[in-house]
Amino acid sequence: MAIKMSINNVENPLNEVEEYLKNNKGKNLSLRRIYKDIGLKRRQTLWMIKNSEKIENVLPLCVGSNKHFIHVYRFIE
């Protein structure tokens, strides 16, 4: 007896970080603000950011910092 599986109704998993940044379009938000507001762990939030094509890292000088890298992100279309 063979078991048949239907995968027609499978959708892409929802990226909560993308949705949050989409609702706050035009804002540069830090990693801490994002994961506290969503309620996810820091590591999960970073994973979603790295796997998204619609989220980009903001240059530090855009937010008044002279560091090389900071965890500030924004939504792009």
pLDDT tens for each residue of 14-69 = 799 999 999 999 999 999 999 999 999 999 999 999 999 999 999 999 999 999 99
Residue with tokens 């279309």: 77
Complete edge-to-edge strand list for the sheet that includes strand 29-30: 29-30, 72-75, 55-57
> Tens digits of per-residue pLDDT, 10-27?
455 679 999 999 999 999
Q: What is the distance between the alpha carbons of residues 52 and 42, in angstroms, rounded to a whole number?
A: 16
Res. 77 pLDDT band, cuts 50 70 90? confident
Domain ranges of the chain: 16-75
Res. 1 pLDDT band, cuts 50 70 90? low
